[in-house]
Amino acid sequence: MNVIFPPTSRYALTPTATFVRADGTPLVYLRRRFVPPPEDLALLQWHRVVQGERLDNIAAKYLGDPEQFWRLCDANRALRPAEMTGTIGRELRITLPEGIPGVPHA
């Protein structure tokens, strides 16, 4: 059995592995997902956090999908999403997904 995630999931490209139990039953699991270095993600723009913002709303505004908040976390080295909007004035990187190159700067 293969685990299938939608293409917008952070786990979509994460490979699976199989562990075979002592009784011969296979157990499929996800391998570790490595977060790309933020500097490898093409920067689209910056966003300055204002009072009362939520990360899902920021993701919806820039990425068109509130469930893509994890891309903002990856782009800003955030382990706890709530911390990203906790400081008013913090600048957040808005980037393209991993593997999609941006426009070279002249």
Burial zone of 45 (CB within 10 Å; 0-12 exposed, 13-18 middle, 19+ buried): exposed
Q: Average pLDDT over the chain, rounded to whole?
A: 89
Q: What is the pTM of this model?
A: 0.78
Q: Which regions of 21-96 does DSSP assign to beta strands (E)?
A: 26-30, 43-48, 91-95
- Express as a percent the part of the chain with pLDDT over 70: 92
pLDDT-derived band at 10, boundaries 50, 70, 90: confident
pLDDT at 23: 97
pLDDT-derived band at 47, boundaries 50, 70, 90: very high
With residue 58 as reference, give the H or E element that holds it: helix 55-63
